[in-house]
Amino acid sequence: MTGRYGQVAFTPLVTEHQEIHGSAAAYARMVEAGGERDRIGRGEAAFISSRDSFFLATVSETGWPYMQHRGGPPGFLKVIDETTLGFADFRGNRQYITRGNLDHDERVSLFLIDYQLQARMKIFGRARVVELEDDPELVDSLAPVGSSARIERGILIDVEAYDWNCKQHIPQLVPLAAARQTVAELAERISELEAELAVARGAVPSET
């Protein structure tokens, strides 16, 4: 965890519970080390760019948190620079909950997880909405390569802080496409071995 992440997450009530349960001192030293907002390093950029989905949390006018799943081809969540992320917002079910929430509060939280590697990353940021009619060139630049879906707007996120969680309790899961590829390769190899075995058996005289 970065010091800046702690500064954002450790509110007075959170700190109060840390004191009750004996972890306040350790986290206090971490928070003191925080300063300017976190910058995305090479490892973070590689992880973010390899994701094919993430969860995006916003806050409504009535104070309710709202979590939404976003998915696309790997790389659809783009690392613009070391402090900025961006993605294309496609036309969906037209509820516009996230869009409306961002008019109320720009603060967002992203949750990225890789089940195969048992890794997860949490990001605090501030979102900026760019409508298609306002800057079509920018919005088009956020489109995933080869996508034909209708883009309504782009969303840029100024990263405030991030945190890597330990892999404890993350189930190790393999993507279906990877599993199918592995099964296909194994099936092909089994066929090759069966053919070789059949030839070998035919070449050995049977005992009489």
**Which of the four pLDDT bands, split at 50, 70 and 90, describes residue 35?**
confident
Sheet holding 78-81, edge to edge: 65-71, 53-59, 107-114, 119-131, 151-165, 84-90, 78-81
What pLDDT sits at residue 203?
Answer: 60
Euclidean distance between CA atoms 100 and 109, whole angstroms = 16
Q: What angle do CA 80, 135, 74 make, to 5 degrees?
A: 35
Burial of 182 (C-beta count, 10 Å sphere; 0-12/13-18/19+): exposed
50 and 116 in contact (C-beta within 8 Å)? no
Residues in contact with 169: Cβ distance below 8 Å, sequence separation at least 6, in sequence order: none
Q: Look at residue 1 and tell me whether its pLDDT is greater than 90.
A: no
Q: Look at residue 146 and tell me whether its pLDDT is greater than 90.
A: no
Q: Scan for tokens 């496409």, then name that residue.
A: 177
| End-to-end CA separation in angstroms for the chain | 74
* Lookup: tokens for 49: 């760019």
94-142 pLDDT, tens digit per residue, is: 899 999 999 999 999 999 999 999 999 999 999 999 999 999 999 999 9
Q: What is the pTM of this model?
A: 0.86
Euclidean distance between CA atoms 69 and 155, whole angstroms = 15
Euclidean distance between CA atoms 138 and 129, whole angstroms = 11
